[in-house]
Structure 1
Amino acid sequence: MREFEQLTSIASANEFIQRHKLSFLFIFGTDCSVCHALQPQVQRLMMKYPEIALGAINAQEVKEVAGRFSIFTIPVLLLHVEGKEYIREARIVHLDLFDEKIRKIYDFVTG
């Protein structure tokens, strides 16, 4: 299973997004049961998309993440293409629909 790169600051998150053409951020919390249940499901889903870089950032440890990404709840799933946000899902995520959205963008970007 693919692992998430652990991001520990807003600077590292910004750099991660800029460094990769396709980047995915999983924003979670330490005490969030939904986050802990969703993360392995997202990891399995992302096996289909090897060119998407995976990053995770803990919103409880990096409090500035809320302001930087306009986060009001967790978990939040963000897909960026060339530094621009294309997909945002929060809290309860329907993985089938999320997969369809990613597939369309992924197929377009990767050709």
Structure 2
Amino acid sequence: MDKLYKKDIIDNLIKENDIVLIYFGNEGCGVCNILKPRVREMLNSYPKIKLVEIEVDKNLEASAQFNIFTIPAILVFIQGKESIREARYINLEEIDNNIKRYYELFY
């Protein structure tokens, strides 16, 4: 999992990969700490998806760029476009089902 802090690096990553999942969290957030390993585990089934972790307290610019107002938050970009956005109460099973459909189209 990468920890990216520059806007241009994040933008390039989204442009260069078919599917990118960005996980917004914070080390002080208990829910984030529980959810983060579950997200990693889920993505083991999708090795071609780029996973990026952004700690909101260390990257206010990215939080503002993506309009993140609550954590945890998951954004999935498919061919450069935001296709999935979940925040606060995140249903990983639903996200997994949505990702699976897109993943099967591309790979």
TM over 0.5: yes
Report the TM-score, using the length of structure 2 for normalisation. Answer: 0.92
* Matches of 1:34 and 1:15, distance apart in 2: 29
Q: What's the CA shift for 1:30?
A: 2.4
- Structure 2 segments unaligned to the other structure (5+ residues): none
**1:107 and 2:104 correspond:** yes
* Matches of 1:41 and 1:94, distance apart in 2: 11
* Matches of 1:5 and 1:25, distance apart in 2: 10
Q: What's the CA shift for 1:68?
A: 0.7
RMSD over aligned Cα atoms: 1.2
* Matches of 1:12 and 1:58, distance apart in 2: 15
- Structure 1 segments unaligned to the other structure (5+ residues): none
The partner residue of 1:6 within 3, 13, 22 is 3
Residues 72 and 87 in structure 2, CA contact (< 8 A), matched pair in contact too: yes
**Counterpart residue number, 1:89:** 86
**Counterpart residue number, 2:58:** 61
**1:50 and 2:47 correspond:** yes
Aligned length in residues? 107
* Matches of 1:77 and 1:60, distance apart in 2: 16
Q: What's the CA shift for 1:9?
A: 2.2
Q: What's the CA shift for 1:98?
A: 1.3
* Matches of 2:70 and 2:43, distance apart in 1: 22
**1:76 and 2:62 correspond:** no
* Matches of 2:68 and 2:87, distance apart in 1: 9
